[in-house]
Amino acid sequence: MNSSSYISDTSMVEADFLTQAWSFIISARLELSLFVAALVAHLLLFGQSTPQKSKRSKETFSSSPQHFSNAKEVESAFAEAVRGGHARQVLNCWSAAKKFPDAIDIPLANVVEAMQRFKKDGDYIARELSAYLTKHRSTCKMQTINELLDSLAKRHDSDFVDSVLKILPAGFALDSRSYEILMNMHFTMRNFQRVDAMVEQAKAAKVALTTRASIVIIKTALKTENFEDALATFRELKSLWQGHVGPSTAPRQIVAQLVDMACKEHELKRFLPELASVPLTEEVVQLMVTEAVREKDVELLEQVEGLAREKALAFSESTYGMLIKGYKGRDEKVESLFSEALEKKSDAGPELCLALLLSCQQTRNFALAENAYKHFSKQMSLSVLAAFIRFHSEVENYERVCDLYEKDAAPLREKATGEGRSILDSRMERCVMNAALKCGRSTLAQSLLSENPSDVAKHITMIRNCAAEQNLEGAMNVFESLKKSGAEMNSVVYNTVLDACVECSQLGKAQSWMEQMKKDGMSDVVSYNTLIKAQLQAGNMKKARALVDEMREEKLQPNCITFNEIVNATVCSSDKRVRSEVWTIIQEMQNVGVRPNQVTCSILLKNLNSSSPESDINQTMSLINGMEEQLDEVLLSSVVEACVRIGKPDLLNTKLRQLMSGDIKVNGSHTFGSLIKAYGHAKDMKSVWRCWKEMRTRHIKPTSITVGCMIEAVVSNGDPDGAWHLIQELGEDPNCKGILNAVIYCSVLKGFTREKNATKVWAVYEEMQKRNIDLSIVTYNTLLDCCARCCRMDGVPAIIEDMKKAKIKPNIITYSTMLKGHCQTGDISAAFKLVKEMREEADLVPDEIMYNSLLDGCAQSSLVDDGLRVLREMEDAGVKPSNFTLSVLVKLMSRARRVDYAFELVQELSEKYHLSPNSHVYANLVQACCFSKQLQRGLKTLEGMMDRKVQPDKRTYSMLLRLAVQQSQFEKVDGLLRGALGVSGALPFLNTPWAICQGVEEAALGETLSSMAGAPEGNKAAAGFLVDVRKEMPNVWIDPSVQRCVLQGSCGEKAWTTERRPSKGKGKGKGQRM
């Protein structure tokens, strides 16, 4: 190639490139113009061509102090940082403050909290505080130290509190507030010794204790059963309350604080008479009215209202609203208060209206509601209109809802339209749309949608609202309206309709809609997942699995959600064969390239319990260990809870050590709850309190579930008193008061019930009522169980009356618990009367437990005929007897000396209901034989147990041995002893492993041998038995005194003992084991 041709080709290439470049510039001239304009605007506005790098949003600790010119600037910066909650700025101010020699007002509590948030260790923080306090010991006030102690004590950080006390320089003396904080913290942590130590320290320092500290001392004295100290402290506290302060000198602020305390302690009714001669403010009256309403105490509310009217105090609109709320259900009183409020507060607004409508809703007083509407319609505000719309919607007056919107909302709509906004919020829009659809006002419904016909998001919301109301037709109408508007349709809208079909339980329409989606090209993975979920909810596992195959045919890849839905349905199935397929599904999931995630593992863990096969447990744990994802809090919580359900302490402890040794940072309250629950099951209370303390120290607010786990852990480990006190502490915490509920209190009730401590059960119940806790049927059943266990059935009528007031109907457990109590107290007539009442009034049928309780009661009172009648009724009702029923029937016949009939009943019922009598049934049969002195029949019964491979218990052998000794049947005694211990020479039918009874009572063994030694024939058999036991079973312990009796051939009346006597030295013959 020559140079000219090369230049020519190069020129052509350049020309071609320039042509293409120019064509590109022409085609993109609009975009380039916009870019240049934006660049010029940016330069004009910000004066720079490139944006600065954004600062990291994550706050990091910087130890370099800011530069301040004087101490006042540091104090100001400190205050601003504390108000804004900026931990880094607090530490920067701290660093700066250390440079100034002048005293600076430093919030040490916030400084320590900031250091803890930045993970500074305790030793470092203590050194910083020590240096500061030493430098400024002359200017730093004890109040600052108390604020620090209070902050730490509220988080139960007792370790660091001790560190602070150790570093306090000379000159800092604890005052009343200090001791109050410290004593309350130690009492909460159940460290009563430290509380006592604080009291002694305060007395030695001659520091007067506060009222709160005195109350803590009283509680501590009661907990330690030191009543004298409690009484003395109470008297000292009472003498302080009896000071004489005249009405003119009583500070109103103090009165307000006292009233506030009385409300918090639920003692307003008792404190109210003290206010008769004290000037009150409107705020105090409102506070008392609010407390009376919260307590639902109408009598107290009347007293507060009367006191306020005596003092001619004016009520605010809020107070009138609370009064109406408190008197709801009493139409005349409510109407009188409303009229008075309108007369004195002509500008009354939504607060009064809402309270009135709430009362009208309960009593369905539409006339009063209409009077209120006439008043407020003169100048209807949006909030008042919304209140009326919601009221008529709640009472299902849908026509009125539509009328209100069309009439009263018209001027508001015009104003809102002029301002470019809507008057409807989501809740009001839902009410009006639902009302329009319910009463057939299609024009109104269409107008609501036509205000913005192409707003896809709004239509999706309305479709979901209709689905929530089970109004599928309305959802389809909304979809058609959107489609006709010309809006661009997408898969999200179609999937929303599909989801509405599923939520409305219309599987057929869901399938039809899916076909329409495929026809319109709108089906995707989400669509299939929704339909799979619907098929699984309908129990169609095969169709759900087929949909997965159909997804692959449609070139759609199943995801984790797809398989997780199937796995969840599989493990939750009641069919054992379906549940066994779970690992096949997991394998299929892995084969298509979808790895099990944390949700998959959580589902599998949810299915594990004490009856799960070992293979399922191991495979699940192996799947968790092999996950690529890092274990997070949710899965950690699931693992711990599964280990608790499995009920294997070794596995639980192993997993706890394995999980807590990792890098998992627990930040959620629910996870802390799971850990607390697990440690509680493991009986590790030290770790329980450690988790609770860490959660509180790190300012993680506990939920009701977390508090429930903590209370249950404390109660189940034998400290219901500690759990109750913790509840009271949380009730005083403004951040935690709202989380207490009936479930949490029920744990404490059950704990005291198990201890048969009726006094404290009633005290907890009264506290629940004072705190206005919503009580459930479980609460009342627990109270009834306490009455039954403590034989205090006289308390039952009051509980039943409270249930009626709370409109809670008794269930089968309620009646069963009361029945058990009547039977235990021997009041069988009351038990039968209760069963009759249950059938007639509650329309309930007794179950097996109730019939067994009745039979047991008849057995205790030896009412054979009544017991047999109960058995017939039980069979006629189709209730199948159990082994427990058989054991009770045998006991009934035994006490009536009808042994033959006892055996006949067991044989007849066992054959009729295919029952295999267990050791308890046989033990009662043997007992019946022994009571009637039929040793041979008792031995025959024991032989029958061996034939059926039923292992006898200790009681069975003890009764037979005692009867055989009484009848001087020493050969049989010897044979029975040998059979029970597995020594050669037993009775022929006892030469089987089933005859061996682990843990034969040492007392019974000693008593039997001692009795045998008193007769020559028996002594010979006993001596031979001892020789064979020594040879074959040297580890069996027999009291040395019994051995001496046998060797000497005689025995005193109490030669044997019931306690082991361990060896006191190395000499032979002491504490000998045979």
Which residues fall within 8 angstroms of residue 906, CB to CB, at 6 or more apart? 886, 889, 890, 917, 921, 925
Q: For residue 90, count other CB atoms closer than 10 A to its CB.
A: 26
3-state secondary structure 318-341: HHHHHHHHHCCCCHHHHHHHHHHH
Radius of gyration of the chain from Cα atoms? 40
Contact call for residues 481 and 449 (beta carbons, < 8 A): yes
CA 1043, CA 1057: separation in Å to the nearest integer?
Answer: 12
Both tokens assigned to 388: 């009326």
CA 29, CA 22: separation in Å to the nearest integer?
Answer: 10
> Look-up: residue for tokens 């301040």?
68
Task: Write the burial class of residue 345 (CB in 10 Å: 0-12 exposed, 13-18 middle, 19+ buried).
Answer: middle
pLDDT for position 883 = 92
User: Does the predicted model carry a pTM greater than 0.75?
Assistant: no
CA 110, CA 108: separation in Å to the nearest integer?
Answer: 5
pLDDT for position 223 = 66
Half-sphere exposure of 383 (CA within 13 A, CB side): 7
CA 732, CA 747: separation in Å to the nearest integer?
Answer: 19
DSSP letters spanning 956-997: HHHHHHHHHHHTT-HHHHHHHHHHHHT-SS--GGG-SGGG--
Q: Could you tell me the CA-to-CA distances from 27 to 31, 230, 249, 283, 1026 in Å, in that order?
A: 9, 93, 89, 73, 113
Angle between helices 71-84 and 87-97 (to 10 degrees): 160
**Of 1071, 1062, 1067, whose CA–CA distance to 1043 is shortest?**
1071
> Look-up: residue for tokens 């993970």?
119
Q: Could you tell me the CA-to-CA distances from 62 to 94, 121, 123, 484, 866 in Å, in that order?
A: 11, 16, 19, 60, 84
Contact call for residues 550 and 514 (beta carbons, < 8 A): no
**Of 760, 728, 763, whose CA–CA distance to 744 is shortest?**
728
Q: How many helices (H) and strands (E) does the chain have?
A: 58, 0
* Greatest distance between any 2 Cα atoms in the chain: 142
pLDDT for position 591 = 85
Half-sphere exposure of 1034 (CA within 13 A, CB side): 2
Residue 8 falls in which region: left (phi positive, over 0), alpha (psi -120 to 50) or beta: alpha
Both tokens assigned to 61: 């600790």
Check the CA dihedral 632-634-640-645 and report its sign: negative
Task: Write the burial class of residue 657 (CB in 10 Å: 0-12 exposed, 13-18 middle, 19+ buried).
Answer: exposed
DSSP letters spanning 912-960: HHT----HHHHHHHHHHHHHTT-HHHHHHHHHHHHHTTPPP-HHHHHHH
Both tokens assigned to 615: 């293979």
CA 561, CA 614: separation in Å to the nearest integer?
Answer: 27
Phi, psi of 712 (to 5 degrees): -65, -40
Contact call for residues 629 and 597 (beta carbons, < 8 A): yes
pLDDT for position 314 = 82
CA 446, CA 283: separation in Å to the nearest integer?
Answer: 49
**Of 87, 62, 90, whose CA–CA distance to 77 is shortest?**
90
Both tokens assigned to 297: 């105490």
CA 149, CA 976: separation in Å to the nearest integer?
Answer: 69
Contact call for residues 912 and 872 (beta carbons, < 8 A): no
Contact call for residues 413 and 454 (beta carbons, < 8 A): no
Give the residues of the chain that fall short of pLDDT 50.
Answer: 1-8, 10, 13, 48-65, 231, 234-235, 237-238, 241-251, 253-254, 1052-1074
**Of 134, 161, 126, whose CA–CA distance to 147 is shortest?**
161
Burial letters 382-421, b for 16+ CB under 10 A, else e? bebbbbbbbbbbebebbebbbebbbebbeebbeeeeeeee
Phi, psi of 728 (to 5 degrees): -65, -35
> Look-up: residue for tokens 């039997």?
1008
Check the CA dihedral 372-374-377-379 and report its sign: negative
pLDDT for position 132 = 82
Contact call for residues 693 and 726 (beta carbons, < 8 A): no
Q: Could you tell me how far CA 737 lies from the centroid of its own chain?
A: 15
